[in-house]
Amino acid sequence: MTSRRLFDKIQGITISHVTKTYGSIYAVRDVSLDVIGGELLVLIGPSGSGKTTTLRMVNRLIEPDEGSISIDGQDIRGHDPVTLRRNMGYVIQQIGLFPHMSVRENIGLIPRLEGWTRDDINARVDELLSLVALPPEVFSGRYPQELSGGQQQRVGLARALAMDPPILLMDEPFGALDPILRMQLQDEFAKIKEELGKTILFVTHDIEESFKLGDRIAIMRDASLDQVGTAYELIFHPESAFVADIVDANKKYKHVDTMCVGDVAYALDDDHLLDGRMDSKDALSSMHEHDIEVALAVEGGEIIGLVNALSLYRDAQGRLRDHAFEPLIFDANDSLPAALSEMKAHGIPMAVVTSRDGQPTGIISMNETLLRLV
């Protein structure tokens, strides 16, 4: 019997007033959090602050005492836990590959239980191994003990992706790796996460990892949620000394004061100019292909607005021009902190940069900027 596909497309997760206690200890206390469909939301905080417990309540490995969690507006208690888990990838630090199974068997396990044909399983395993940068011809026949820690972690990720679940839960997936390997896997994951097109809840201790990967970051402290926001918001508008300390705001970002917009802008090239009349889906493919987060929609030589890959991704209907929004425009010599503040004030995380004669020469994105500065 094959289990049902519960969610057909990218889904958001709504966590509402959830509490979990063990005896007199609150593991999680009145946590409410909306994970937007298609985003990667990072949960970060000290050891014991409730991150893992929060994550495990989403796939019902732990049941909350109070509150509810819903996906696509449906309470997850309405779903059979096993079916629910097959619709969510789960990646943990000690990945737990089955030692007596080859890499191919480990990754193909759930598809096999779901009754896929051998050819379909093999094709899927090859595809996933390539995705996580392990050539199938080299690795598919190996056993877990014949892999390095980083390779095991990649296989674990591939296994979690086997059924192409719309939601991915990741609990310190790179935490056990040495720093260099961790950085390498982070970089690779940052590249594939957009093309994966999943809603991802990602636990880490590592603030740089959260800046690199997170669309938004939720900070947990003492079983509660402290502040949720983009890296920019947490760094420049921490609501508490605790948050400022975690993001290390004062020490790291001092040098931003003296920088100007041109220092961090991306040079604009032809790939960034898209015809406003083109189909949104085609525009999105083109942006993915060129690894572009932001593009300019143009018609007849005129800029009609900025477009953002993430928002297109969430809703690629109609023509590109329908998704264009009026850009903020800065001169390359404008002060960077002033520009970032203005972007923040307008709630627009990206802007066009022009040269002295007013010609657009670049694009600046708030989050990308922060990443370049850490």
Ligand X SMILES: Nc1ncnc2c1ncn2[C@@H]1O[C@H](COP(=O)(O)OP(=O)(O)OP(=O)(O)O)[C@@H](O)[C@H]1O
What are the residues binding Mg ion (CB under 5 A)?
52
- Please give the Cα distance from 353 to 301 (Å, whole number): 17
Residues of span 133-162 touching ligand X by CB under 6 A? none
Residue 286 exposed, middle or buried by CB count within 10 Å (0-12, 13-18, 19+):
middle
Instruction: Give least dist CB 183 to ligand X, A.
Output: 20
Instruction: Give least dist CB 47 to ligand X, A.
Output: 3
Name which position in 11, 38, 39, 51 contacts ligand X (CB under 6 A). 51
- Among candidate residues 84, 82, 85, 21, the one with its CA nearest the CA of residue 53: 21
- Please give the Cα distance from 63 to 44 (Å, whole number): 21
Interaction between residue 47 and ligand X (CB under 6 A): yes
Interaction between residue 59 and ligand X (CB under 6 A): no
Residues of span 221-280 touching ligand X by CB under 6 A? none
Name which position in 12, 37, 38, 50 contacts ligand X (CB under 6 A). 50
Name which position in 11, 14, 49, 153 contacts ligand X (CB under 6 A). 49
Instruction: Give least dist CB 87 to ligand X, A.
Output: 23
Binding mask 27-46 for ligand X (x = CB under 6 A): x-----------------x-
Structure tokens at 211: 């800046």
Interaction between residue 25 and ligand X (CB under 6 A): yes
Location of structure tokens 């497309």: 9
Interaction between residue 14 and ligand X (CB under 6 A): no
| Cβ burial 20-41 (10 Å sphere, 16+ → b, else e) | beeeeebbbbebebebbbbbbb
Closest to ligand X by CB, 41 vs 363, is 41
Residues of span 189-218 touching ligand X by CB under 6 A? 205
Which one of the spans 50-58, 138-146, 297-305, 333-341 is the region binding ligand X (CB under 6 A)?
A: 50-58
- For residue 252, what is the enclosing H or E element? helix 249-253
- Please give the Cα distance from 246 to 281 (Å, whole number): 39
Instruction: Give least dist CB 233 to ligand X, A.
Output: 22
Closest to ligand X by CB, 45 vs 362, is 45
- Please give the Cα distance from 60 to 66 (Å, whole number): 13
- Please give the Cα distance from 115 to 118 (Å, whole number): 9
Interaction between residue 24 and ligand X (CB under 6 A): no
- Please give the Cα distance from 325 to 337 (Å, whole number): 22
Length, in residues, of the chain: 374
Closest to Mg ion by CB, 160 vs 295, is 160
Please give the residue ranges that form the binding site for ligand X (CB under 6 A).
22, 25, 27, 45, 47-53, 205
